[in-house]
C-alpha cells in the first residue's frame, strides 16, 4: 500500500528538487550513493548511543534519495539496468545499517538480549524477503504478491517508532516503549511476508513447470 500511494505522492513533491539537481549537474548515481552514506551514518552513529530522535531525523533526510535518484533518471531518460541494480543493492545496505544500529544499542547500552535477537531477526528477514522476490524473478517467475510488511512498511514502522521513542530524552514519559512494540510488529510481519512470497513462488513454479510439460516436444504447438 505504501509503495503504491506514498511513493507516488512523494515522487510528485520531490520532482522540482530532482530537476534542480539535474540543472546543477548532479548524477542519479551520486544521489544514490550520497543517500545511502547518509542513512548509514545516521543509523550507525546515533542509534548505538540511544540517540533515536536525531538519528531518525538524519536518516529521514537521506532516505528520500531513493525517490529522487529514480525521478532524476526518468527526467533524463537514462533509466537503466545498472541504475536499478545499484539502487536495489544499496537499499539492502541502508536497511542493514538501520537494524544493525539498533542491534548495537540493544547489545550494548540498551542491555536487552531478547530485543537484540528480535532486531537481528528483523535485519535478516528483511534481507531474505527481498532475496525471495529477486531470486524468483531471476528464474522467470513474476512473484505476483503484495506482502504484508514489505520494505516501505518496515522502514516507516521502524523509523516512526525510533523517532518518537527518542522523545524520551526530551522528557516525554514512557514513550520509549514504542520501539520494542514496533520491532515485534516488523519481525512478525516480515515472517508472514516471507511465507507469502515462498508460497507464491512455489505455486508459480508449479504452474510454469506444468505448462512446460503440457507443450508437445518437437511437434506442432499451435
Cα 6 from Cα 32, distance rounded (Å): 19
Identify the H or E element spanning 193: helix 178-214
According to the annotation, is 80 in a ligand binding site? yes
Q: Is 91 annotated as a binding residue?
A: yes
CA angle 113, 111, 97 (to 5 degrees): 75
74 labelled as ligand-binding?
Answer: yes
- Please, what is the Cα angle at 133 between 146 and 153, to 5 degrees? 45
Burial (CB count <10 Å: 0-12, 13-18, 19+), residue 206: exposed
Known binding residue 220? Answer is no
Cell (9 digits) for 36: 545511502
87 is in an annotated binding site: yes
Q: Pick from 97, 96, 92, 121: which is nearest to 187 by CA?
A: 121
Rounded to a whole number of angstroms, the CA Rg of the chain reads: 20
Which listed residue (91, 95, 111, 220) is catalytic? 91
Give the span between the Cα atoms of 72 and 26, in whole angstroms. 9
Q: CA angle 127-133-137, nearest 5°?
A: 140
* Annotated binding residue 31: yes
Those residues whose C-beta lies under 8 Å from the C-beta of residue 198, and which sit 6 or more positions away, are 132
Q: Is 95 a catalytic residue?
A: no
Binding-site residues for Mg(2+), in ranges, read 66, 69, 87, 91
Q: Catalytic site residues?
A: 91
Binding-site residues, in ranges, read 29-32, 66, 69-70, 74, 80, 87, 91
Amino acid at each position: 500500500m505504501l509503495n503504491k500511494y506514498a511513493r507516488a505522492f512523494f515522487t510528485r513533491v520531490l520532482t522540482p528538487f530532482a530537476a534542480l539537481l539535474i540543472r546543477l549537474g548532479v548524477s542519479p548515481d551520486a544521489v544514490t550513493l550520497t543517500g545511502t552514506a547518509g542513512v548509514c551514518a545516521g543509523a550507525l552513529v546515533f542509534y548505538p548511543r540511544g540517540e533515536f530522535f536525531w538519528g531518525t531525523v538524519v536518516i529521514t533526510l537521506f532516505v528520500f534519495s531513493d525517490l529522487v535518484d529514480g525521478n532524476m533518471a526518468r527526467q533524463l531518460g537514462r533509466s537503466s539496468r545498472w541504475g536499478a541494480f545499484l539502487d536495489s543493492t544499496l537499499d539492502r545496505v541502508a536497511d542493514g545499517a538501520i537494524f544493525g544500529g539498533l542491534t548495537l544499542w540493544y547489545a550494548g547500552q540498551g542491555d536487552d538480549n531478547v530485543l537484540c535477537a528480535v532486531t537481528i531477526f528483523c535485519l535478516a528477514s528483511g534481507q531474505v524477503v527481498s532475496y525471495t522476490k529477486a531470486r524468483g524473478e531471476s528464474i522467470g517467475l513474476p512473484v505476483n504478491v503484495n506482502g504484508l510488511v514489505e520494505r516501505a512498511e518496515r522502514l516507516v514502522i521502524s523509523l516512526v517508532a525510533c523517532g518518537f521513542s527518542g522523545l524520551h530524552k526530551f522528557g516525554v514519559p514512557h514513550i520509549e516503549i514504542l520501539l520494542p512494540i514496533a520491532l515485534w510488529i516488523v519481525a512478525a510481519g516480515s515472517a508472514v511476508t516471507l511465507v507469502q512470497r515462498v508460497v507464491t513462488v512455489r505455486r508459480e513454479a508449479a504452474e510454469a513447470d506444468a505448462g512446460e510439460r503440457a507443450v508437445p516436444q518437437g511437434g506442432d504447438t499451435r
